[in-house]
Structure 1
Amino acid sequence: MATLLHIDASARPRRSDQDRFGSHTRRLTARFVERWAAARPRDRIIYRDVGQSPPQPVTGRWIHAAFTKPEQREPWMHEVLAESDALVDELIEADVIVAGIPMYNFGPPAQFKAYIDNIVRVGRTFGFDRTRPGDPYWPLLTEHGKRLVVLSSRGDYGYNENERIHHLNHVESSVRTAFRYLGITAFESIASEYDEFADERLQASLARADSEVDALVDRLVATVMLPEAA
């Protein structure tokens, strides 16, 4: 039995296939999870909606607590880190992370940045030692075989590699960098575009993204988790 961590980061609370003003990324993640569950009904699914319930942003007290050795932490430090610990626990348990991350002003939503800031944790998801020769930092999740799937949506078009405004796309690259820092290097991404145009190009892009999500789930189920799917 595998564990899938489903994260939604859109500020829009509903799905665009069910509500005219709904979220395209919620539509895509729901499609992914529903197809995955149909193929692997015994798998565990953890849901985290950071779009509607964003993690607390990092504060000075959080930093003080996180960089204090666990055995030296005072009670208030454990309280400050409780939410972060829960998010890290979910991430560690997950075999596949599927995250719906819309593009807001060329990057991820602030809610998802707060999530990243809470899971990049010294001693839990990355190691740090000033006396270590060479690079004092190292990932702690490398051996877990985790896979990250980012499902995004964009208002404009042409953000893919070698397209007209690829240089303005800081969603996939920034998210991939953060997770790679923790040791999660297997990465997949799909995105819809033309949201601001709201015409037939948007509908065609969504239909294409739906189809790509279906194909991705089928491929992952047939390869990544094949022994457990039998």
Structure 2
Amino acid sequence: MPHLLHIDSSARGEGSASRRLSAEYVRVWRDRNPHGTVTYRDLAVDIPDFVSPEWITGVFGPAEAANADTKAALEASERLIGEIESADVLVLGVPMYNFGVPATFKAWIDQVVMAGRTFAFGEYGPEGLLKGKKAVVLRSSGSDFDNPAFAPMDFHAPYIRGVLGWIGIADVEIIAVNGFAAEQIDAAVREAGNAIAASAGAASPAA
């Protein structure tokens, strides 16, 4: 049966536009996939570990330096990587903070991008090892970064596309809303409903 990994990263609670979008996506996806399953992770509550000396030693060695601390660091990564491996679709609620991604989302990325585990260097260069998955990014921002005046400062979408592509997830869709005032955001979220419905349908094997 299809499986979806739902991740939120906004520091806001009920006022978060990205959380509203990701929740709506999952709702539609569940409707299209009544036998599908969902794993949820809230990075603002369950904050991933930052890369540490123990993590670096565990990944890169030397082998004789491995101990209980390096093992624990890698086990934390393995839990997060395993969630991605089990998923057919990743639904990522990622607001824009200061032109980039929240620190908690960056910490999650740093835990799951692991040499020899989610990417490798082969005869023809780097190769992502988590192929065959779709990622949908639900993004909120104050300004419209499709506007040429703001586009050069968009380090959010290129980063997410690039780093997910690096681990093999090349099918990345971004559904974005923008605005500061509550009425702006409400209207943008309602308008995004059509894009969410279309995307969730395309991401559903039964569709």
Q: TM-score, normalised by structure 1?
A: 0.83
Q: Which residue of 1 aligns with 2:170?
A: 185
CA apart distance, 1:140: 1.4
Distance 1:155 1:79 in 2: 39
Matched AA of 2:59: A
Distance 1:29 1:203 in 2: 14
Distance 2:21 2:62 in 1: 40
CA apart distance, 1:78: 1.2
Match of 2:38 among 40, 45, 53: 45
Q: Which residue of 2 aligns with 1:203?
A: 186
Q: Which residue of 1 aligns with 2:141?
A: 154
Q: Between Structure 1 and Structure 2, how many residues are aligned? A: 207
CA apart distance, 1:134: 5.5
Matched AA of 1:127: A
Q: Which residue of 1 aligns with 2:150?
A: 165
- Maintained 8 Å contact 2:54/2:69: no
Unaligned runs of 5+ in 1: 15-21
| Aligned residues: CA RMSD | 2.0
Deviations 1:77-105 (A, max 9, x none): 21121211100010111110000000000
What SS class does the counterpart of residue 29 from structure 2 fall into? helix
- Maintained 8 Å contact 2:57/2:66: no
Matched AA of 2:128: P
Q: Which residue of 1 aligns with 2:159?
A: 174
CA apart distance, 1:200: 4.1
Unaligned runs of 5+ in 2: none
CA apart distance, 1:43: 0.8
- Maintained 8 Å contact 1:28/1:100: yes
Q: TM-score, normalised by structure 2?
A: 0.92
Distance 1:13 1:56 in 2: 21
Matched AA of 2:4: L
Distance 1:138 1:69 in 2: 24
Q: Which residue of 1 aligns with 2:197?
A: 214
Distance 1:83 1:105 in 2: 28
